[in-house]
Amino acid sequence: MSFFNRQFFVGMLAGAFLLVAIGIVGIVLLGIAIQRAADGPGSISVIGGLNPPPVPTDSDSEMGWRMRDLNGNAVDLAELSHSVVFVNRWATWCAPCLKEMPSIEKLAAGLADEDIAFVIVSNEPAETVAPFVADKGWNLPIYLARQVPPVFQSRGIPATFVLDDTRRIVFAHVGSALWDAPASLEYFDRLLRSSSVSANSSPD
């Protein structure tokens, strides 16, 4: 093989390897992009993501969770009288938590006239959470609790739990979600209506 033919062959081989490498890198990057898209809010079906609670809850006493609001007032989850309770665990350092918070705020605003309580809980100190929330301008009920009851523990945050009028966990989800999506609004509308029917049919 002449020098020029050998050089041409080597060049062709190098070009082929380069194309294969570019293809592999492209596939990897596409996979990462798809995974990131799947992890983002709006990609999660709130209704379809229904999971059973990690611990069966049959009584109000199991749902007790003492916490404080940003003004230092004590609150116990078991003492809330609302038909539905939306519990969300978050932290100031949690990017997915911050990503979904605007949609939680919109959901709360859309259900402002309904019998539902929003309990947004962080286990961080008040001196960390209070200025952070003020800077964000969130109009949500923020609470602080160092300890998390077993029934509300999860493999990560954000973690959201929905309690019905009997204080059973009827919905549990870990990860960011688009809570003001139409499917979510329909879900809470049905849940609130079923709670209302249950309350009206209860004996005096």
Give the Cα separation of 14 and 166 in Å (integer): 69
Buried b / exposed e over 25-47, threshold 16 CB at 10 Å, is eeeeeeeeeeeeeeebbeebebe
Give the Cα separation of 84 and 198 in Å (integer): 12
pLDDT digits (tens, 9 = 90+) for 128-145: 999 999 999 999 999 999
pLDDT digits (tens, 9 = 90+) for 190-203: 999 887 655 444 44
- What's the pLDDT band for 12 if we cut at 50, 70, 90? low
Average pLDDT for residues 149-155, to the nearest whole number?
Answer: 89
Residues 82, 104, 90, 120, Cα dihedral to 10°: -30
Higher pLDDT, 107 or 26: 107
CB of 162 closer than 8 Å to CB of 170: yes
> Which residues, listed in sequence order, are joined to residue 144 by a DSSP beta bridge?
68, 122
Q: For residue 158, say if its preceding peptide bond is cis, omega within 30 degrees of 0.
A: yes
- What's the pLDDT band for 113 if we cut at 50, 70, 90? very high
Higher pLDDT, 43 or 24: 24
Average pLDDT for residues 83-100, to the nearest whole number?
Answer: 95
Give the Cα separation of 103 and 6 in Å (integer): 63
pLDDT digits (tens, 9 = 90+) for 167-194: 889 999 999 999 999 989 899 999 998 8
Give the Cα separation of 166 and 128 in Å (integer): 34
| pLDDT above 90 as % of the chain | 48
Average pLDDT for residues 93-105, to the nearest whole number?
Answer: 95
Phi-psi region of 111 (alpha: psi -120 to 50; beta: other; left: phi over 0): alpha
Give the Cα separation of 157 and 115 in Å (integer): 26
Say which residue the tokens 């959901």 belong to.
Answer: 107
Q: Is 12 helix (H, G, I), strand (E, B) or coil?
A: helix
